[in-house]
Copies of this chain bind each other. A is one copy, B any other.
């Protein structure tokens, strides 16, 4: 059958051009006579792959020289523990809860110290982001943690906390590379690659170098940022295939898209098509406060749960898959990451309009 429009929240679509490159190189990478999946991680061929992947990510995200990039395993969930284990030097940290993953991050951090939930948007079912300028930050917090884009609830930060002397740590799993980011505003940024970059199986952390080296001696080696970063992400065998795929996507962003400023233009236009449609009618409803609407995850409901179910089933038949909303929210969610073609959103909107007409 033909490839579908996959609106999954992650893992999610990859650029078809990248998949075709991976396919063509699958048995023999360059002149190595091997698949990347078979390559010793200590070989010159793989060394070139990992170095170029990191270098291209540095260029794409415009990462300042005083930040290190590390490749890890265990997804963002493992980062939820690594952040406090490595950065909670004062024994306390501030967390802003704006959805499921920021809540899980705070819960995990409580295992390792005092967690102050300085704001929580659960009062309105996570349909907004708290005003970061009016919060009572803890003066001696080791860091402030946010989840920059909330995959499940379809919200995103506009401004981020800026507190002198307290580093900001952000989970960017569902918005990384969707537009340019000013890395210098953050002490650390981390993300699972499986939403907007590569197949599942890797998390990346970008860390200001003065924050490294403070983990306690009994922290597990694989959870010690400095232990992994000081070995150029090869303390042990890294997830080589994910690194290779990440490199291909970075190359695609640089060469085919022309960088993140262009990617943002495409994404703003693409999300705009869906949000404009949602605002133009009353059959479907997006519950998010407008300033905080995510570029990447668009939630919406039909008039009732039965119609939601009918919509998802008919959409899947028509080649628009994984539109069912997360069980915590219900309704629908269209995750429209970088690799979702604009055409996919245009066709989805046509399908939605047609469905509304027939069922309204």
Contacts and interface: CB of A to CB of B under 8 A. Distances in A.
18 contacts: A3-B28, A10-B237, A11-B38, A11-B237, A12-B40, A14-B37, A23-B23, A36-B199, A37-B245, A74-B74, A74-B222, A75-B236, A75-B237, A76-B236, A81-B221, A85-B220, A111-B217, A201-B238
Given A1-B33, A23-B27, A77-B235, 4 more contacts: A8-B43, A37-B200, A81-B221, A201-B240
Interface of A: 1-4, 6, 8-14, 16, 19-20, 22-23, 26-28, 31-41, 43, 73-78, 80-82, 85, 108, 111-112, 192, 194, 198-202, 217-223, 235-242, 245, 319, 321-322
Nearest to A85: B220
A322 B16 CA distance: 33
A237 B23 CA distance: 23
Contact of A11 (B37, B77, B218): B37
A22 to B, nearest CB: 6
A37 B74 contact: no
3 closest Cβ pairs, A-B complex: A201-B239, A4-B33, A81-B220
Nearest to A326: B42
State the majority secondary structure of interface residues on A: loop
Contact of A43 (B80, B218, B322): B322
Contacts of A201: 73, 201-202, 238-242
Contacts of A199: 36-38, 240-241
B27 A16 contact: yes
Q: Most chain-B CB neighbours within 10 Å: which of A43, A85, A235?
A: A43
A1 B31 contact: yes
A218 B23 CA distance: 43
A25 to B, nearest CB: 9
Contacts of A192: 237
B223 A8 contact: no
Contacts of A220: 78, 81-82, 85, 108, 111, 220, 223
Contacts of A108: 220-221
A45 to B, nearest CB: 10
Contacts of A11: 37-41, 237, 240
Contacts of A12: 38, 40
A35 B200 CA distance: 12
Nearest to A14: B38
